[in-house]
Structure 1
């Protein structure tokens, strides 16, 4: 198996550059950089692969989408899945039934059997569309579930959208009355690319080691906002404006990560810039404030978009993102980089190029870490040039904390033409991958074949030595 290498000497150079020019840097971060360099090494021994379980059918529906007529639209399909995974391999899946205009949740055990006789209705707002959720499951007794999503509420602005949150304290059997965290007419949840093009689902959620819940979203008007809860989701702080003021380009596609020490890392992209770069900031006081200096991650001449960020126990911040070398949504590729404690990110590597011969593009990644130094990146595969519906999911992994990556493969069954194309039809800002500390994987995907059927599937796997 050929492996791609993140050039280690750049980490040394990065540490020196940080010392000179980046005030987030600490002496501990430099020591961690050299530890990372000398502890990482080539992958010897048996070749490792992902072993897959048979897919689980989560939901099925019609495949009809009528013209957009706001919340009166005649849409009949299932879409927008997201997944969480506990240490004991309980997979929580949340998705949207567009015909019922509601959000549903189910838990699947390691054997693929559902926990509930019927999926649980989370949003309970059948007159209003619910889109593109995120889900977190916190193990223990009682098992808590947190769900964040975009509700298409029209309240006087040019675009409908608010950010809603609900929690369960009984493993998902029942959910609290949803909280509206945004209460805006600015079109919350929309990530604007241009005045006429935007993606929904421009939001994210993370759980801190102290139990705080952190949420972030963007608005069509351009603002990037952050809020947090210190009481397990009973209430949330007033939203904090991070970026996207009137003199700035509109923020889109934010991603949150919280380190084991409680530092919050936030990355996002912007619209209306032909060569936009990923932007980054962080908070060291549990979200009460963020550094005003917004850094650029790995500047390039292309259009960088849709970041996913993660932080591990050694102080390493990992990031994967979409790069359009010819401009927005053109010739998409997935790139990866990492830094020490949010310091300087060295030049990124492209980790999706092995799919270039069979697919016209790869983008909109999901990024997860386990507790064993493994990094996992999943992405959408685009069969045609230009921005069209994706068909298939690609995945790669690193078993040395992001220093090298395995050759990417297609997640089994996701490129079946008999299933049609992948969701989401409301926007590509999704999170289809979950990984627990033990290295168990859970992937969800939606498909749509017009006039026939739409489906949600759960696919499990794990890294193992090749026989």
Structure 2
């Protein structure tokens, strides 16, 4: 789900089966009161199934989507990442384009698509991709011409440890922020890198999660007012917790992490920031109090009462 600068709401999901799954799209211009008829935006003559859609919106009418697909023109190819874009609020979409690698003796299957766009319609797509005989890496490409062409992929994890669950956010001018999960010597950690030149180069690796406190699983990253970027992750250590760290200077440094839900036992969160810098969280939570004889799970919401400082 995503919202553009005009307030138009866009939603995508997977539908079909068992061999013709596709990515379907609708939009609403009245805050969800009504929606357009669903349309398949992933269909091609060669597609054998599309899954795991991700969506981003930016300027008025600008909406982009990525997903996991299998493409028959390259026999034996594993699942790869595809991209499409609309500049007219979803009335029409560009033909799907593959942005991950074709199968080679070095690279194999792709997964975990991620996407972001900014107010100037610079586009960023990312994914994790396996290597034959080696751990997977996370990669990112950029487009400065509306998806007509893409840059060569940048390997964010640089083969330093098995990596996945990439999440990206972007803002003008040409700032890109990325978090992902990387296997370090003792546990999985949430790592961070930023680019100040539209994804051409990236900063050194920075660990956001708490070392020595169990494994962490990245959940989301978002931008708010200029140079404000916040990331959340799930920490698994004798239970579940959602932790959060924020930067107010474009990722140069981050404030100390804190438990974003205020208590333990929460999991699978995500974050959004508004233009003033206020934070909004959704996360999985226990609702055992509904009936003490059963263990209930639900989706909970929390927001900051004022912009984060």
CA contact (8 A) 1:373 1:401 kept: yes
Match of 2:173 in 1: 314
SS of 1:372's equivalent in the other structure is coil
Structure possessing the higher relative contact order (Cα contacts under 8 Å, 6 or more residues apart): 1
Where do residues 224-373 of structure 1 align in structure 2 (5 Å cutoff)? 224-247=81-104, 248-271=107-130, 274-291=134-151, 293-325=152-184, 331-341=187-197, 342-353=199-210, 356-357=212-213, 360-373=214-227
- What residue ranges of structure 2 are gaps of 5+ in the alignment? 71-77, 289-293
TM-score between both structures, scaled by the size of structure 2: 0.84
Where do residues 20-419 of structure 1 align in structure 2 (5 Å cutoff)? 135-138=1-4, 140=6, 143-151=7-15, 153-156=16-19, 161-183=21-43, 186-189=48-51, 202-209=52-59, 211-219=61-69, 221-247=78-104, 248-271=107-130, 274-291=134-151, 293-325=152-184, 331-341=187-197, 342-353=199-210, 356-357=212-213, 360-383=214-237, 391-413=240-262, 415-416=264-265
Residues 1:436 and 2:302 are matched in the alignment: no
Q: Quick one: distance in 1 between partners of 2:25 and 2:36?
A: 9
CA contact (8 A) 1:146 1:165 kept: yes
**What is the CA deviation profile of residues 383-417 of structure 1, one whole-angstrom value per residue up to 9, with x for unaligned ones?**
25xxxxx722110101222111111111224523x
User: Which structure: larger Rg?
Assistant: 1
Q: Quick one: distance in 2 between partners of 1:303 and 1:186?
A: 28
Once the 2 structures are TM-superposed, how far is the Cα of residue 234 of structure 1 from its aligned partner?
2.0
Q: By percentage of residues, which structure has more helix? A: 1
Q: By percentage of residues, which structure has more strand? A: 2
**What is the CA deviation profile of residues 147-191 of structure 1, one whole-angstrom value per residue up to 9, with x for unaligned ones?**
12233x21437xxx42121111111111122212223763422xx
Q: Quick one: distance in 2 between partners of 1:139 and 1:181?
A: 22
Q: Quick one: distance in 2 between partners of 1:305 and 1:402?
A: 20
SS of 2:92's equivalent in the other structure is coil
SS of 1:321's equivalent in the other structure is strand
**What is the CA deviation profile of residues 433-466 of structure 1, one whole-angstrom value per residue up to 9, with x for unaligned ones?**
111111011111123679432211111014556x
SS of 2:225's equivalent in the other structure is coil
Instruction: Count matched residues.
Output: 290
SS of 1:253's equivalent in the other structure is strand
After superposition, the Cα gap between the structure-2 partners of 1:393 and 1:186, relative to the gap in structure 1 and judged at 3 Å, is: farther
After superposition, the Cα gap between the structure-2 partners of 1:162 and 1:331, relative to the gap in structure 1 and judged at 3 Å, is: farther
Once the 2 structures are TM-superposed, how far is the Cα of residue 343 of structure 1 from its aligned partner?
2.0
**What is the CA deviation profile of residues 307-340 of structure 1, one whole-angstrom value per residue up to 9, with x for unaligned ones?**
22222223222211111125xxx82111111122
CA contact (8 A) 2:84 2:96 kept: yes
SS of 2:181's equivalent in the other structure is strand
Q: Quick one: distance in 2 between partners of 1:344 and 1:145?
A: 32
- What residue ranges of structure 1 are gaps of 5+ in the alignment? 1-134, 190-201, 385-389, 424-430
**Which consecutive segments of 4 or more residues in structure 1 shift more than 6 A?**
none
Q: Quick one: distance in 2 between partners of 1:325 and 1:187?
A: 34
RMSD: 2.5
Once the 2 structures are TM-superposed, how far is the Cα of residue 304 of structure 1 from its aligned partner?
1.7
Once the 2 structures are TM-superposed, how far is the Cα of residue 277 of structure 1 from its aligned partner?
2.2
